[in-house]
Amino acid sequence: MSKKKKRIVYPVVFMLLVTITFTLTLALINEFTKNRIAFNNELKIKKTLLYVLNIDIENNDNEYINKTYDEMIEEAIINDTKVYMASKDNEIIGYAFPIQGDGVWGAMNGYAAITPDYKQLLGIDFVSHSETPGLGGRITDSKYKEQFRYLELESENGIYIIHRPNSGGNVDAISGATGTSEAVRRMLNEDIDVFIEAVGGER
């Protein structure tokens, strides 16, 4: 055995066997859970979209969320821009669109929704971000997000969101997380402007 171990073939074969065993195990586990993980991710996006469009799904199970989503939200193209259109009783209640920007530690991704007349912001939410938990991470707190519900969009040179107490301020920043608040403000101003222009709304 000890002589054999010094040869090159045995370690290579051994490593190969170990690798194959574990790769197979992982592949199997992955195969079994693939659908579930895809389902979870999809569900998360759906929840976010329903939230930004201000459709109440609080404390409801996954089935209800899926059903509500299928009933109320459909993907639509307006002037070559993909939007998620929500309607209730054949009346459009809003458009949701992805937002994206640089945070303090990394990229932030989320969705924002806007009323059909492009005059009010319906809501915003984040899908992923890497801000400091407890500080910048509080952008996902409902207290912060609720500030953007039905926010009047009055543009001055493409600026919609202004932090208080600046003149014309309409949103409170998070204390202790100035960098993150600024990043969110910049991202929203930019993406809302781009979106409204793209769908041809009046700015």
Partner 1 sequence: MVSKKIKEVFTLGIWKDNPVYRQILGICSALAVTNLMLNSLVMGLGLIFVTAFSELTVSIIRQFTPKHIRMMVQTLIISAYVIIVDILLKAYYPAMSEALGPYVGLIITNCIIMGRCESYAQKNPPLYSFIDGIASGMGYTIVLLIIAFFRELLGFGTLFGFNVMGEAWVSWTLMIMPPGAFFMLGILIWVAYNLFPVDEGGKVKGGATNI
List residues near partner 1 by CB under 8 A. Answer: 5, 10-11, 14-15, 18-19, 22, 25-26, 29-30, 33, 36-37, 40-41, 44, 130, 132-135, 176
Residue closer to partner 1 (CB basis): 27 or 92: 27
- Give the nearest distance from C-beta 76 to partner 1 in angstroms: 28
- Give the nearest distance from C-beta 128 to partner 1 in angstroms: 8
Calculate the CA 23 to chain-centre distance: 32
Residue closer to partner 1 (CB basis): 24 or 77: 24
Longest CA span, the chain: 82
- Give the nearest distance from C-beta 152 to partner 1 in angstroms: 32
Here the tokens at position 66 are 């899926």
Here the tokens at position 160 are 């919609």
- Give the nearest distance from C-beta 192 to partner 1 in angstroms: 26
- Is the link from the previous residue into 11 a cis peptide, with omega within 30 of 0? no
Residue closer to partner 1 (CB basis): 16 or 77: 16
Residue closer to partner 1 (CB basis): 62 or 79: 62
Give the span between the Cα atoms of 111 and 125, in whole angstroms.
6
* In the block, residue with structure tokens 């707190």: 141
Residue closer to partner 1 (CB basis): 17 or 77: 17
Backbone torsions φ then ψ of 156, nearest 5 degrees: -125, 110
Sign for the pseudo-dihedral over CA of 43, 76, 73, 154: positive
- Give the nearest distance from C-beta 160 to partner 1 in angstroms: 29
Q: 111-120: string of b/e by CB count within 10 Å (b at 16+)? A: bbbbbbebeb
